[in-house]
Amino acid sequence: MNYLRTYCNLIRNAESRTPPEGYIEKHHVFPKSIFGNNNRVVALTAREHYIAHALLEKVCICRYGVGHYKTHKMTHAFVLMCTTRKCGNSYLYETAKLRKIKAGHSDEAKEKIGAVHRGREISQETRLKISASNKGRKKPQGHGEKVSKANIGRIFSQEHKEKLRSAKKGKKLSQETREKLSIIHKGRIISQETREKLSIANSGKNNPHSKWWRITFADGSVLEKCGLKNWARQNGYDCNNIYSVAAGRKNKYKDIIKVEKIIKE
């Protein structure tokens, strides 16, 4: 079979027709990984796009051989195509995957990859993209147990703790997540040590991260309190609304007319 001729016929047919209705994908006729940026782009259906990458890999195998770097690039692109779709011809996917594993990366390529990622700082935008791509993805069975075992006895530096704390600060949980957490924690046995830690954390004055607040009520009375969450919970107030008054987003909440942050010596 002449794979190159079949690929060219597929591209010519796509270029000469009106783009099909519904879902289409843009395909670079000359792959960017080999030829660099170019404007030769054609609209293909998902199935045609899959076949195009399968043909490109076959063309490179016939022309350059399995070990050539161009073949490696086309094999990698085709494996990604299969993985992204999570479907396709199982034989084509299996053979491509085995060739990719067998070829691996050369020592030079490994050194380049290591140099790129060494000391690399990930931007917040990239973190959000990674988070979005992982959303809804099911973890393999036993993944949670492996992570739990790996973290047993692990000591986090203060810097790492601060990063984790700042990442979660202000993050709102959806109702679905709250329900899941509630199911997980129902019937959970809390050790005495954990109870003591929670007691210290909620006591306000004993918590080094708690801040002092001056709360002014409508009747003119003033209350100075260290930590708001526990006090608000015990007295029937919503802590988020109290913070809104403190930030100026609300003029009043129930009988609270003013909330100020103060510094205690």
What is the per-residue pLDDT across 59-86, written as a single tens digit (0 to 9) for each? 999 999 988 889 999 988 888 877 655 5
133 part of a folded domain: no
Q: What is the mean pLDDT of the chain?
A: 79
Q: Name the strand (E) or helix (H) holding 246.
A: helix 239-247
Q: Name the strand (E) or helix (H) holding 169.
A: none
* Domain count for the chain: 2
Query: What was the pLDDT predicted at 188?
Result: 74
Report, as an integer, the average pLDDT of 205-230: 76
Percent of the chain with pLDDT over 90: 12
Four-residue CA torsion sign, 147, 126, 32, 89: positive
């692990």: which residue's tokens? 154
Q: Name the strand (E) or helix (H) holding 262.
A: strand 256-262
223 part of a folded domain: yes
**Local structure of 255: helix, strand or coil:** coil
Q: Which domain holds residue 47?
A: 3-106
Q: Tell me which of 76, 106, 136 is where a domain ends.
A: 106
96 part of a folded domain: yes
227 part of a folded domain: yes
Four-residue CA torsion sign, 246, 264, 164, 187: negative
Query: What was the pLDDT predicted at 264?
Result: 64
Q: Tell me which of 61, 85, 106 is where a domain ends.
A: 106
Is residue 52 over pLDDT 60?
yes
Quote the tokens at residue 66. 């399995």
Whether the Cβ atoms of residue 85 and residue 46 lie closer than 8 Å to each other: yes
16-35 residue pLDDT tens: 998 888 778 889 999 988 88
Q: Please give the single-letter amino acid code of residue 225.
A: K
Query: Which stretch of 16-20, 48-52, 108-112 has the lowest confidence by average pLDDT?
Result: 108-112
124 part of a folded domain: no
Q: Which residues of 235-247 are buried (b: 16+ CB within 10 A; e: fewer)?
A: eebeeebbbebbe
Query: What was the pLDDT predicted at 56?
Result: 93
Query: What was the pLDDT predicted at 62?
Result: 92
Query: Which stretch of 72-81, 127-136, 236-245 has the lowest confidence by average pLDDT?
Result: 127-136
Say how far apart CA 187 and CA 152 lie, in whole Å: 22
204 part of a folded domain: no
58 part of a folded domain: yes
158-215 residue pLDDT tens: 888 888 888 777 777 888 888 888 877 777 777 777 776 666 555 555 555 667 778 8
Query: What was the pLDDT predicted at 209?
Result: 61
Whether the Cβ atoms of residue 165 and residue 171 lie closer than 8 Å to each other: no
Whether the Cβ atoms of residue 52 and residue 7 lie closer than 8 Å to each other: yes
Query: What was the pLDDT predicted at 232?
Result: 81
Output the 3-class SS for 77-116: HHHHHHHHHCCCCHHHHHHHHHHHHHHCCCHHHHHHHHHH
189 part of a folded domain: no
Q: Tell me which of 106, 121, 151 is where a domain ends.
A: 106
